[in-house]
Structure 1
Amino acid sequence: MDNKTIVKNVVKHNDGKISNIYFTACGGSLVDMYPAYYFLKSEAENLSTGWYTANEFVHVTPKKIGAQSIVFVCSHSGNTPESVKAAKVAQEKGAITIGLTFNPKADLLKYSDEKIIYEWGNENEVVKNPMAIVLDITSQILGQLEGYDKLAEFADGFNKIDTIVTNALAQVQDRTKRFADKYQHEPMFYILGSGASFGHTYGFAICSLMEMQWLDAAPIHSGEYFHGPFEVTDKDKPYIVMESIGRTRPLDERAIKFLKKYAEKIEIVDAKELGLDLIDSNVAEYFNPILFYSVLCEYRAKLADVRNHSLEVRRYMGKVEY
């Protein structure tokens, strides 16, 4: 089923009376839905929205959830217990649920009114990944419900993003190798980002570095950097900054300016340098995290190689009871 058909189906729910859209998942799947959540926060005039880790959604279910609600739930395996339970709770409250998974036999699909089985593993077709899918559907829903008028620009962006990502991946190969060689013995990283990219700032820290490399990491919003975190800045601490294009770029630039003055270990991943400005400026900022995800996967892969620490190895996840 294509995205337009899903949009048509969910907008008809409750006779078209939709007042809120929620996003819930765990870990990387939760991060995948942050751009759509940020888009709604920024662009919706009447629709309210929320972004919840699944177990909190289950235990502290928003009272607004009901027949007037759309709830996106994503789980790569489709069997994450907290996410399956979140979808069940949402459905029981009368919401229409949209479930996304890589697994066509997933338990999540039992509680999904609309079912999306996405593709995975082809970094040259990011439009088929959940981050892009959820952003596309959400923008179309807002177009249907509130007349959001930048859908043509979004469509053009989705047509371009695969090429932009492919070119960016080629562009960063040498850079990511130098990064890994230089920082392979670092035990701790600070990750900065803003706007729609802050979700991946968080995701790169908790999933790529903490989960996959067993490294300490702290995500910091570029706008919050000067309200506490900058006090630990010195020449010995490594920083990775996702420099977005769009309205929050000045926040990133301010942090970078300070870091260049007081720090020495700085890696800047600049969306403009990597070609994202080929997308219309009215919507390009929402594509930042799609680009950053793919590019930073190269950083983590090179780091894993030089550290001889497979991205697949786990100590606790799926190994012990928790």
Structure 2
Amino acid sequence: MLKFDKEQFVELVGNVGLSKREEIEKVVDEISNKGFKNIFLIGSGGTIAMMLPYEYIFKSNSSIEVHAEIAAELLVMNNRHLSKDSVCIFASVTGTTKETVAAAEFCKEKGATTIGLVALPDTPLGDVVDYRISTGHEKHSFDTFFLHLQLITFRFIHNQNEFSQYEKFANELAALPEAMAGAMEEFDSRAEEFAIRHKDTKYHMLVGAGNLWGNTYSYAMCILEEMQWIKSKSIHAAEFFHGTLELVEEDTSMIIFKGEDETRPLAERVERFAEKITNELFILDTKDYALPGISEEFRKHVAINVNWALTGRISVYLERERDHSLDIRRYYRKMDY
């Protein structure tokens, strides 16, 4: 497999990443015991997209009030829900994203309790928040962030007496990195075939819903647009039939992310339509993968992690086929704007 070290992945995401479980539970328990009014999930670009699945999980599994906010907008919008009784959760791989760091400082000034997810500890974001949770490494940091957010989200819901299965769920997360690696190996040939077929494709539609909507938005924006300079559009499956459907033609590339939560029928509706129109339909369905060690009742929650891991296989093959490094930028962090 191109650029994939299974042992390293399982070690960094599983053993190192999940070694933070006790620390995370202690942080959440301390905040829950103190009491809070609401939770803000805050990020910029890929990290606000990463927060959207957990906003969905909170809303569909808990009565806790939750708000996912873009850092730069939060700074100017005068959000009346943000107060000293808020819990604000941030993420930044480098810990230097200007808007995110500024938002963390802003929330601290409001008296809110702040949690920062970072790759390396000694960074501006890590220094400003009340609780810093570091992956300890930059490689596979998003995969690790997803695991940490699973623990944070469901621990808060558990402490609200709305998720009695927490211990079972958290214990099963230990099997997830190995299961993800297996799914990646199984998916790898499809990822390579997609990249070869679409190395010169100029435009992609990406469709998703529910807890995969954030991944849909992120893959279009962060990977295809920012890292590959390919025009793309992310469309929520529930909104696809209000505008975007008129742009589909027989050669339109459509990528549909199918998960396993309550919104799966929304993606399936788009799939049924697309099958009648385009010859370039690509379905990425987490249900196709066995995920040993994960109970059926929890599969819908970890579809976020699995989907993200699988799309990463597409990315490395696009990089190769297009001879376009995922690290190259023209403007981002290259100029003032």
Q: Check whether TM > 0.5.
A: yes
Which residue of the partner structure matches residue 104 of structure 1?
121
CA–CA separation in structure 1 for the residues paired with 2:102 and 2:173: 32
RMSD over aligned CA atoms reads 2.0
CA–CA separation in structure 1 for the residues paired with 2:305 and 2:164: 22
CA pair 270-9 structure 1, distance change in 2 beyond 3 A? closer
Which residue of the partner structure matches residue 309 of structure 2?
294
Pairwise CA distance, 1:11: 4.1
Do structure 1's residue 142 and structure 2's residue 157 form an aligned pair?
A: yes
CA–CA separation in structure 2 for the residues paired with 1:38 and 1:261: 31
For structure 1, list consecutive stretches of 5 or more residues without a partner in the other structure: none
Contact 1:10 1:96 in 2 (8 A): no
CA–CA separation in structure 2 for the residues paired with 1:231 and 1:14: 48
Which residue of the partner structure matches residue 244 of structure 1?
259
CA pair 282-171 structure 1, distance change in 2 beyond 3 A? same
Do structure 1's residue 212 and structure 2's residue 240 form an aligned pair?
A: no
Aligned length, in residue pairs: 319
Deviates more, 1:157-166 or 1:135-144: 157-166
TM-score normalized by the length of structure 1: 0.93
2:147 aligns with one of 132, 140, 145: 132
Deviates more, 1:307-316 or 1:114-123: 114-123
Contact 1:35 1:131 in 2 (8 A): no
2:54 aligns with one of 25, 32, 36: 36
3-state DSSP of counterpart to 2:287: coil
Deviates more, 1:306-315 or 1:245-254: 245-254
1:79 aligns with one of 96, 100, 114: 96
CA–CA separation in structure 1 for the residues paired with 2:22 and 2:241: 43
CA–CA separation in structure 1 for the residues paired with 2:184 and 2:60: 29
CA–CA separation in structure 2 for the residues paired with 1:61 and 1:291: 36
Which residue of the partner structure matches residue 91 of structure 1?
108
Pairwise CA distance, 1:49: 0.6
Pairwise CA distance, 1:199: 0.1
Residue identity matched to 1:92: E
Counterparts of 1:149-164 in structure 2, within 5 Å, are: 149-164=164-179
CA pair 274-92 structure 1, distance change in 2 beyond 3 A? same
2:290 aligns with one of 271, 275, 289: 275
Which residue of the partner structure matches residue 166 of structure 1?
181
Residue identity matched to 2:89: F
CA pair 237-120 structure 1, distance change in 2 beyond 3 A? farther
CA–CA separation in structure 2 for the residues paired with 1:172 and 1:110: 39
Pairwise CA distance, 1:258: 1.2
Do structure 1's residue 316 and structure 2's residue 331 form an aligned pair?
A: yes
3-state DSSP of counterpart to 1:298: helix
CA–CA separation in structure 1 for the residues paired with 2:40 and 2:179: 29
Which residue of the partner structure matches residue 215 of structure 2?
200
Calculate percent identity across the aligned residue pairs.
Answer: 27
Contact 2:254 2:281 in 1 (8 A): yes
CA–CA separation in structure 2 for the residues paired with 1:121 and 1:102: 5
Do structure 1's residue 52 and structure 2's residue 69 form an aligned pair?
A: yes
